[in-house]
């Protein structure tokens, strides 16, 4: 089987290193810049506690069109980069292949297989390219794994990671079963999800609060979870996310304790969230996948999200002021505004 990891940052590097170390499949990597040069010269290394995973890919390239057709493409790009890579992913994937999207936040394929309108999400797939080319061949993944690239070609991860894989249109498809088995053979704590969208909402509780506040404050997680004032704001954001999830059809209140999610004793190991890593590296942010689409869902369902509205405006403005890329759909300062707190959201 030919497997390509498309994007070898922190999470993509983690996955690729585990696959290479297991030696299970013909694994290739699509990456660029210093990461590509390092992997080509000395391979890829993942360090987790006292364990090390190492390997050299069959191919490492920044030109996916040069690869042979792939059975599986594991896409680890940030959500905002996906529309521009859709044709390249489609081009390298076999017609009956599988694209597994390992991304944070609301995924571009969200409406696929749900009752009602079958159309792309404008904030995440503006031209509908991902939807048109890949929706029928795509699986999703909720990755609970903290990683950071400490230097090109070397990723550092933390213990206790878990991976939930799911099919947008089926709770137990054969392609999902095969993909879970592939991850498990490489030693991952991977399992099939009976409702991946519920797992996405559960992770979004942290993505929308911990990640966004870390980006704006530049604080690692240990400072965010031990500061009482910050914890209050994170908790309030989580309650807004839960309200939107419930209005969208996923009630998390009976199964999720938001206070426990950010309790200092539960998060004793401090790390820099992925969004903070992007801020420090001057990269574009996952603003729309983590907050923008959430606020859109809130408007559609008439749920008020004043804190998320504020965070969204700040992060969009932060992206502009810092020279970071923001979605090309914002063409004027007026379009950066969100619904005022006192206005109707219907």
Per-residue confidence band for 270, with pLDDT thresholds at 50, 70 and 90:
confident
Q: What whole-number distance in Å separates Cα of residue 106 and Cα of residue 210?
A: 16
Positions annotated as catalytic residues are 203
pLDDT tens digit string along 184-195? 999 999 999 999
Rounded to the nearest 5 degrees, what angle is found at the Cα of 217, between the Cα atoms of 211 and 222? 65
List the 190-192 sheet strands across, edge first.
59-61, 26-30, 2-6, 70-75, 93-102, 138-144, 162-166, 190-192
Question: 173 φ, ψ to 5°?
Answer: -80, 160
Residues 18-36 pLDDT 10s: 999 999 889 999 999 999 9
Could you give the CA distance from residue 116 to residue 196 in angstroms, rounded to a whole number?
18
Half-sphere exposure of 89 (CA within 13 A, CB side): 29
Q: What is the pTM of this model?
A: 0.91
Question: What SS3 state is found at 106?
Answer: coil
Range(s) within the chain of domains with CATH label 1.10.1040.10: 198-336
The number of residues in the chain equals 346
Architecture of domain 2-193 in this structure:
3-Layer(aba) Sandwich (3.40)
Average of per-residue pLDDT across 309-322:
88
What percentage of residues in the chain have a pLDDT greater than 70? 91
Task: Please write the tens of the pLDDT for every residue from 194-253.
Answer: 999 999 999 999 999 999 999 999 999 988 989 999 999 999 999 999 999 999 999 999
Q: DSSP E strands: which ranges in 81-217?
A: 93-102, 138-144, 147-151, 154-157, 162-166, 190-192
Q: What would the pLDDT profile of 255-268 be if each residue is shown by its tens digit?
A: 999 888 887 766 65
- Identify each DSSP E strand in the chain by its residue range: 2-6, 26-30, 44-48, 51-55, 59-61, 70-75, 93-102, 138-144, 147-151, 154-157, 162-166, 190-192
55 three-state secondary structure = strand
CB 68 within 8 A of CB 48: no
Token pair of 292, please? 């923008």
The CB density around residue 283, as the number of other CB atoms within 10 Å, is: 17
Is 198-336 in CATH node 1.10.1040.10? yes
Average pLDDT over residues 66-70: 98
**Token output for 221:** 């997680």
Delimit the CATH 3.40.50.720 region(s) of the chain. Answer: 2-193
pLDDT tens digit sequence for 276-302: 999 999 999 999 999 999 999 999 999
């Amino acid at each position: 089987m030919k497997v390509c990891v498309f994007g070898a940052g922190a999470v993509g590097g983690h996955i690729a290193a585990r696959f290479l170390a297991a030696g299970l499949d013909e694994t290739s990597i699509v990456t660029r810049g210093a990461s590509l040069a390092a992997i080509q010269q000395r391979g890829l290394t993942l360090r987790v506690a006292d364990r090390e995973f190492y390997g050299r890919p069959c191919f490492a390239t920044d030109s996916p069109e040069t690869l042979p057709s792939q059975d599986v493409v594991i896409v680890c790009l940030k959500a905002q980069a996906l529309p521009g890579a859709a044709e390249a992913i489609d081009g390298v994937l076999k017609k009956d292949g599988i694209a597994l999207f390992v991304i944070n936040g609301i995924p571009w394929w969200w409406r696929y297989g749900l009752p009602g309108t079958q159309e792309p999400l404008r904030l995440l797939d503006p031209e509908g390219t991902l939807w048109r080319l890949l929706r029928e061949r795509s699986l999703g993944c909720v990755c609970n794994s903290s990683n950071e690239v400490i230097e090109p070609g070397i990723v550092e991860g933390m213990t206790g990671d878990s991976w939930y894989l799911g099919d947008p249109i089926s709770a137990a498809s054969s392609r999902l079963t095969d993909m879970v088995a592939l991850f498990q053979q490489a030693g991952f704590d991977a399992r099939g999800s009976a409702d991946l969208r519920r797992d996405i909402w559960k992770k979004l509780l942290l993505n929308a609060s911990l990640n966004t506040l870390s980006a704006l404050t530049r604080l690692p997680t240990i400072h965010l979870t031990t500061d009482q004032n910050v914890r209050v704001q994170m908790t309030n954001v989580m309650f807004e996310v839960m309200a939107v999830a419930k209005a969208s059809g996923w009630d998390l209140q009976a199964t999720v304790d938001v206070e426990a999610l950010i309790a200092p004793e539960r998060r004793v190991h401090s790390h820099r969230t992925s969004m903070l890593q992007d801020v420090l590296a001057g990269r574009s942010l996952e603003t729309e996948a983590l907050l923008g689409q959430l606020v859109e869902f809130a408007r559609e369902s008439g749920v008020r999200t004043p804190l998320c509205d504020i965070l969204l405006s700040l992060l969009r403005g932060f992206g502009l002021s810092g020279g970071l890329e923001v979605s090309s759909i914002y063409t004027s300062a007026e379009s950066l505004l969100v619904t005022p707190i006192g206005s109707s959201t219907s």
